[in-house]
Structure 1
Amino acid sequence: MQYRTVPKNGDKLSALGFGAMRLPTRMGRIDEGRAIKQIRSAIESGVNYLDTAYPYHGGESEKILGKALEDGYREQVKIADKLSPWLVNSREEMEQILDVQLRRLRTDHIDYYLLHMLDARSWKKLVDLDVFAFLEAARDAGKITNIGFSFHGDRKTFREIVDAYDWTMCQIQYNILDENLQAGREGLEYAASKKIAVMIMEPLRGGMLARDLPDEAQAIYDRPGLSRSPADWALRWIWDHPDVTIVLSGMNDERHIRENLLTCEDALPGSMSSAEHAVVDEVRAVYKRLIRVDCTGCAYCMPCPFGVDIPQCFHFYNQYHMTGNRIMTRGFYIGQVIGFDGDPSNASRCRSCGKCVGTCPQGIAIPDELKKVRRDLDGLATKLMTPLVKMVMKRRKE
């Protein structure tokens, strides 16, 4: 395992962190046994930084993590958890949430405590609530150790937040498509210049950069002499940055965990050649040309009051326009989003209430984009195809 140092406290943290936002599920709930085995296996392989948050999996993520860290595993790792601004309106509520988190995690302290998903509006709210008094009191009481923040706003606000406090670390979205989104490379370098450790989230854009690639992008990676997987390329590109401390991967498949661990071993800062960077530049250009909605699948927009599965709708909409097999994509949309049980979650259920808009870290005009999904994937062709897909799915179940 490769380890990188947090400048302000000297912690040696695994360059690969385990993100617990997308744990394996079964029948709509976390597959507890499998998730615990995955977490412990990663720790045994050298991963020592685990990231969760109060809302992940409806609060179940923290509980599973707490169970996974029993039997001596807690002493081997650092836990990162978060205070979500939309859940608090007073100092008392902040204290209540922290106490709940400690109980869920079965620990007496959280090593890295972050203000969650900051942008200009949530930052102002927390400052007005005197959040630093709460954080420092919690630190003095031994409930938290290091203070940081995660970010989903504009670059000006990012600089303002970085300059406002003596942060130990920050967490930003960064990948081959988002070099200039939100904090971006400029923010990464600015935070590092202040000796703030930088943890990277969404390195694979919710899996978009690792699976079901556009044919043109896959053809680039398939050239003779380029034997790496798409995930390997995307992760290696981030670890090539010397200012990156940790790359968080939402690992929920055993094979993917093994692959990520293997990549991390030799993906050292500055290890990529100019020719390898040129390959990534080509792939990026393909995505930029084809992608329709910049959704990462984080699901902060959920649940929808009208039952729309917003991330799934955007996933299949992007796939519809990026891959060469639109019929297959439509079939999966029918099977996984429209469904056959009388409880569809497709784009046509949207009533443009706007509740989702304010929660989207990417600033997507979700109702407007869902109208486009409805146009392309909820029309006559889908209605005509639905009985066939239903028949095929029924046979498969039998």
Structure 2
Amino acid sequence: MQRREFIHAAATAGVVSPLLTGRGTGAEPDKGPALLRFDTANEVVRGDMRYRKLGNTGVEVSCIGVGGHHIGRPADEAEGIKIIRTALDAGMNFLDNCWDYHDGLSELRMGKALQDGYRKKAFLMTKIDGRTKAAAAKQIDQCLLRLRTDVIDLVQHHEMIRMEDADRVFGEGGAQEAVEAARKAGKIRFVGFTGHKDPLAHLRTLEVAKENGFRFDAVQMPLNVLDAHFRSFARDVLPGLVKEQIGVLGMKSMGDGLVLQSKAATAVECLNYALTLPTSVVITGMETMDRLKQALDVVKSFKPLTEDQVAALLGRTKEAAAKGRYERFKTTPDFDGTAKHPEWMG
């Protein structure tokens, strides 16, 4: 099935807005419908932090979240803990993590940071790589131990980047069986999935979930100023999630610095753009206190970009977006941890 045919089929099935049929080749000019925008009427401001609904879960999460991979980067553990606690004290309640980040170091640091009463301030998310029931169950229990908690607010199937990943997860003896068992046992509250490779993999995962009578609470994907032009999650996946009231977790707003290397946009523009989209949370890396302050400053002064501002920004980034050279998480295996370590999947 060709990309156009798949997106059309997904639209017909209600997985993605029919308006987007035929989009996403990365080679076509930007001639489709305007990007969706966040309705600030659905946003609550408390102090200097803004909170948005996580889909239809009934939970309010900070519009910006702490990226878990970056928390494992500082050489000084105390620095990572300080960043997390400062973010939570500032009202940034959404914490991102993953079972495999820095061989578990990110989760261990976050677990320490959540002691002394900080757990109650956090909406805690982590991800698992296991595709089998046994591997997923083992990883969930390891995450709980590292994070020093009895319950994880959101667990996501990580790196759904292959067309067959969803079939493995939802197949007999697949990871979803372990996730459902953990949720029934009270270890997990909500369930989502992530991926960074191609919108088609996201659409396929949503399709397989629907075939199995399951609805995700949240979906995580790259949303940045280059994505709109190349294999666009914003154009091909986002409308369907909004329609189904599934929480949208934006990541790679700066592409781990790659977007900034393009010189097409500043860090502040990148964050403002992602926040202007109908995201529940924009997860961003903050391995230093300066990065955390930058994110907090953006939230404090945030005003959604106007349609003209978005058009001007996308016009400026179109050339840099060509062929995905600054979105290498889409076009190379450099960011594919499960490809480098297939044993993680079980």
Return the TM-score normalized by structure 2: 0.75
1:96 aligns with 2:132: no
1:10 aligns with 2:43: no
Structure-2 change in CA distance of 1:182 and 1:240 (3 Å): closer
Q: Alpha-carbon deviation of 1:10?
A: 1.1
Q: Alpha-carbon deviation of 1:274?
A: 3.5
The equivalences for 1:254-293 within 5 A come to: 254-268=289-303, 271-288=304-321, 292=325
Moved more, 252-261 or 125-134: 125-134
Equivalents in 1 of 2:322, 2:185: separation in Å?
51
Q: CA RMSD in A?
A: 2.7
Equivalents in 2 of 1:289, 1:91: separation in Å?
40
Equivalents in 2 of 1:24, 1:59: separation in Å?
9
Gaps of 5+ in 2: 1-48
Structure-2 change in CA distance of 1:301 and 1:115 (3 Å): closer
Q: Which residue of 2 aligns with 1:240?
A: 276
The equivalences for 1:57-136 within 5 A come to: 57-85=102-130, 88=131, 90-119=132-161, 120-128=163-171, 129-136=173-180
Does the Cα contact within 8 Å between 1:24 and 1:31 map onto a contact in 2? no
Equivalents in 2 of 1:234, 1:257: separation in Å?
15
1:194 aligns with 2:244: yes
Equivalents in 2 of 1:173, 1:80: separation in Å?
17
Q: Alpha-carbon deviation of 1:183?
A: 3.2
Equivalents in 1 of 2:157, 2:73: separation in Å?
27
Q: Alpha-carbon deviation of 1:24?
A: 5.8
After superposition, give the CA deviation of every residue in 1:190-213 in whole Å (9 maximum; x if it has no partner).
Answer: 111111001011111111334x55
Equivalents in 1 of 2:69, 2:204: separation in Å?
27
1:118 is matched by which residue type in structure 2? Answer: M
Equivalents in 1 of 2:204, 2:52: separation in Å?
26
Equivalents in 2 of 1:8, 1:36: separation in Å?
31
2:287 is matched by which residue type in structure 1? Answer: N
Structure-2 change in CA distance of 1:178 and 1:169 (3 Å): same
Q: Which residue of 2 aligns with 1:175?
A: 224
The number of aligned residues is 285
Structure-2 change in CA distance of 1:153 and 1:127 (3 Å): farther
1:295 aligns with 2:328: yes
Does the Cα contact within 8 Å between 2:112 and 2:148 map onto a contact in 1? yes
The equivalences for 1:290-329 within 5 A come to: 292=325, 294-296=327-329, 300-301=335-336
Does the Cα contact within 8 Å between 1:4 and 1:246 map onto a contact in 2? yes
Does the Cα contact within 8 Å between 2:219 and 2:247 map onto a contact in 1? yes
Q: Which residue of 2 aligns with 1:33?
A: 78
Larger-Rg structure: 1
Q: Alpha-carbon deviation of 1:153?
A: 4.6
Does the Cα contact within 8 Å between 1:206 and 1:298 map onto a contact in 2? no
Structure-2 change in CA distance of 1:231 and 1:143 (3 Å): same
Q: Which residue of 2 aligns with 1:231?
A: 267
Q: Alpha-carbon deviation of 1:287?
A: 1.7
Q: Alpha-carbon deviation of 1:266?
A: 4.0
1:48 aligns with 2:117: no
Structure-2 change in CA distance of 1:70 and 1:191 (3 Å): same
1:127 is matched by which residue type in structure 2? Answer: F
Does the Cα contact within 8 Å between 1:153 and 1:182 map onto a contact in 2? no
Does the Cα contact within 8 Å between 2:160 and 2:201 map onto a contact in 1? no
Return the TM-score normalized by structure 1: 0.66
Structure 1 residue matching 2:320: 3-state secondary structure: helix
Gaps of 5+ in 1: 222-229, 304-354, 360-398
Structure 2 residue matching 1:52: 3-state secondary structure: coil
Equivalents in 1 of 2:315, 2:286: separation in Å?
26
Report 1 or 2 for greater relative contact order, CA contacts < 8 Å, sequence distance ≥ 6: 2
After superposition, give the CA deviation of every residue in 1:258-298 in whole Å (9 maximum; x if it has no partner).
Answer: 11111123435xx2124422431243134236974632599
1:193 is matched by which residue type in structure 2? Answer: K
Equivalents in 2 of 1:301, 1:170: separation in Å?
18
1:237 is matched by which residue type in structure 2? Answer: Y
Q: Which residue of 1 aligns with 2:203?
A: 159
Q: Alpha-carbon deviation of 1:133?
A: 2.4
Q: Alpha-carbon deviation of 1:166?
A: 1.4
Equivalents in 2 of 1:266, 1:7: separation in Å?
24
Structure-2 change in CA distance of 1:82 and 1:298 (3 Å): farther
After superposition, give the CA deviation of every residue in 1:72-106 in whole Å (9 maximum; x if it has no partner).
Answer: 11010111111103xx5x42332221111111000
Equivalents in 2 of 1:7, 1:289: separation in Å?
32
1:145 aligns with 2:189: yes
Structure-2 change in CA distance of 1:25 and 1:157 (3 Å): closer
Does the Cα contact within 8 Å between 1:152 and 1:182 map onto a contact in 2? no
Structure-2 change in CA distance of 1:82 and 1:292 (3 Å): closer
Equivalents in 2 of 1:2, 1:292: separation in Å?
33
Q: Which residue of 2 aligns with 1:185?
A: 235
Q: Alpha-carbon deviation of 1:54?
A: 0.7
Equivalents in 1 of 2:336, 2:233: separation in Å?
21
After superposition, give the CA deviation of every residue in 1:143-171 in whole Å (9 maximum; x if it has no partner).
Answer: 10101111235434423322422111110
